[in-house]
Structure 1
Amino acid sequence: MNIVVVGPGAIGSLWAYHLHQAGHRVSLWHHTPSQSGLYPLSLCTLAEDTLPTIDFTTNDTEALKTADLLLVTVKAWQLEPALLPLIQHLHPDTIIVCMQNGMGATDSVYEKIQHFPLVLATTTHGAFKTDAQQVCHSGLGQTMLGAANLSGEQCTFLAEVFNHALSEVLWVADIRGPLWNKLAINCVINPLTAIHQCPNGTLAEEQFRPTIKALLSEIVAVMRAEGMTTSEEELSARVAQVITATKANHSSMKQDIAQQRRTEIDFITGYLIQQAQQHHIAVPNNLRLFEQIKQMEQLWIQA
């Protein structure tokens, strides 16, 4: 397939490298025109091997025109400004796959992209950039794909395409379930690690248990109102499992706060609060974390 990866950060670079290795023609798209030309990228594997450098073409309009697939891996708040300038160059049959943390990122652009086959994706693979030209695969995970519109339902074959590049990949009939489950975990881990500037594993300490329990109680109430089948016990076990499995990891929100970058809190806890309001459910503990992160962001915005 002809594939353009929009936003070659850690996850975008990871997928670009593996899709290229799987035999696809992969090009990158940066938000800055100065990145046009060749973009060298190497991969550091879980076995700590460094794979050969691949030169990717970047910001090539011709690649957009011939793209079978647009994989958009920018942060949730970057989706609209990154995607809208590109759609004029795409063939109507180009499949758009959006892979972001959180939920609701496509809502503001849906009317303008709904005539394309649209697929939403979520992944638990871990990755980080050591520098602009190298990505390290830091944790094995699972990727799930699902249709976001009627024409997207014809794209079930993408699970095989993605799975061949970087397993395990599953196609799900209702992507909202996996998205909500990941959102729930992110609502706990991301803001707490960002506020306390700690790795994920620190949240297993006794001092965090009452806070996590209070957060999950509110999250479960909203998820049930949204039609998701879950329990506080089930979700608590899943959160604990992720904290243990990723104990050495630093959440993206923790890193964003540390480097004074805008976070994705509006599309994680902010989305939860928005849905809670629609169902008239009080979520004071999640609201408190949301306000703390927004205050932290505001400090350097004002500076």
Structure 2
Amino acid sequence: MKIAVMGAGAVGCYYGAMLARAGHSVTLVGRPQLVTAVQAHRLILEAAGRTEAVPVDATTDPSGVAGADAVLFCVKANDTLTAGRVIASHLGSSVPVLSLQNGVDSAEHLQAVLGRPVVPAAVYVAVDMPAPAHVRHHGRGELVIGPGPSSADIAEVFSRAGIPTEVSENVKGVLWAKLIVNCAYNALSAVAQLPYGQMMKTDSVPETMRDIVAECLAVAERSNVMVPGEVMSTVLGLAASMPDQLSSTAQDLAQGKESEIDHLNGYIVRAAARLGIAAPVNRALLVMVRLVEAKAQSARR
């Protein structure tokens, strides 16, 4: 199978590496630093106590998605519209496009700009990139994808490549469950620059998370979204399974990058306002992250 990864950051490189290891042809579309590093030493995957160099192709050109049998769209939620426009003319007429992005509406935005169906995917993986083209896996790795003409086949291919993949009719609810977990962890980890395990040892963090989750669930209920599972148990259990993980928002702020906070706590704040629901804890976290971003921007001037 020929697979293209559009926006090959930590998540895209991890799944690209797993698929390439299984014998699939993978092309990463990413930044020049990534392409240079791949050309120099392949894609480095550090996982399960071992490190290996995985052969993949890499390019900065959006035409790298041309001829793919499936496209994994992994760009930051903030860049969905721009990235979608630049690949639109290079996509085959029936190639499935999977949105492996944060947020509950990223696939909808991408679908609008592409003018074709997009399969939403909830991603559960802890990874980072200590250097260009070097992806380090910390835990998990499963996907839950929405239904589509090719979804069952994709799930089988991915599962055989070591990526547990499930097709769900309630992928919207699954995406909401992930959003709520992200709202509970990302901003707190980012502001403190602490990994999950250490963060949870601080007094009142679990209680604050309960307030965050309660606000999110109130918005979901008023939005007629069925969130599966016991969300609070999932939230509190995540730190135990990923104690050394820094949130993606924490990694963005540490590197001086724009975060996706507007698509996480910011989404809840906007939705709550439309519905006439109070979300003060999510609003406070949103403001804190924006202040850190503003400070970084001011320092660069």
Tell whether the structures are fold-level matches, with TM greater than 0.5.
yes
**Which structure 2 residues correspond to residues 228-267 of structure 1 after superposition, within 5 A?**
228-229=225-226, 234-267=230-263
Structure 1 residues 7 and 214, CA gap change in structure 2 (3 angstroms): same
* Aligned equivalents of 2:242, 2:59: Cα separation in 1: 32
Matched, 1:277 2:273: yes
**Deviating more after overlay: 206-215 vs 184-193:** 206-215
* Aligned equivalents of 2:219, 2:237: Cα separation in 1: 22
1:169 to 161, 165, 168: 165
* Aligned equivalents of 2:197, 2:106: Cα separation in 1: 28
1:217 to 208, 214, 222: 214
- Where in structure 2 are there 5+ consecutive unaligned residues? none
Q: Give the count of matched residue pairs.
A: 296
CA-to-partner distance for each residue in 1:10-56, whole Å, 9 max, x for gaps? 1111111111122221111125599489632121121x211234242
1:45 to 39, 44, 47: 47
**Which structure 2 residues correspond to residues 17-166 of structure 1 after superposition, within 5 A?**
17-32=17-32, 35=35, 39=39, 40-46=42-48, 48-59=49-60, 63-115=64-116, 117-147=117-147, 152-166=148-162
1:293 matched to which residue of 2?
A: 289
Tell me, yes or no, if the aligned pair for 1:37 and 1:57 is still in contact at 8 Å. no
The 3-state SS of whatever aligns with 1:158 is helix
Structure 1 residues 196 and 58, CA gap change in structure 2 (3 angstroms): same
Tell me, yes or no, if the aligned pair for 1:156 and 1:171 is still in contact at 8 Å. yes
After TM superposition, the score normalised by the length of structure 2 is 0.89
Q: Alignment RMSD, CA only?
A: 2.4
The 3-state SS of whatever aligns with 1:125 is strand
* Aligned equivalents of 1:102, 1:84: Cα separation in 2: 19
Structure 1 residues 156 and 34, CA gap change in structure 2 (3 angstroms): closer
After TM superposition, the score normalised by the length of structure 1 is 0.89
Structure 1 residues 186 and 62, CA gap change in structure 2 (3 angstroms): closer
* Aligned equivalents of 1:140, 1:120: Cα separation in 2: 19
1:178 to 174, 177, 188: 174
Query: What is the deviation of 1:245?
Result: 1.1
Tell me, yes or no, if the aligned pair for 1:37 and 1:58 is still in contact at 8 Å. no
* Aligned equivalents of 2:287, 2:159: Cα separation in 1: 39
- Where in structure 1 are there 5+ consecutive unaligned residues? none
**Deviating more after overlay: 99-108 vs 30-39:** 30-39
Q: Among the aligned pairs, what percent are the same residue?
A: 28
**Which structure 2 residues correspond to residues 3-14 of structure 1 after superposition, within 5 A?**
3-14=3-14
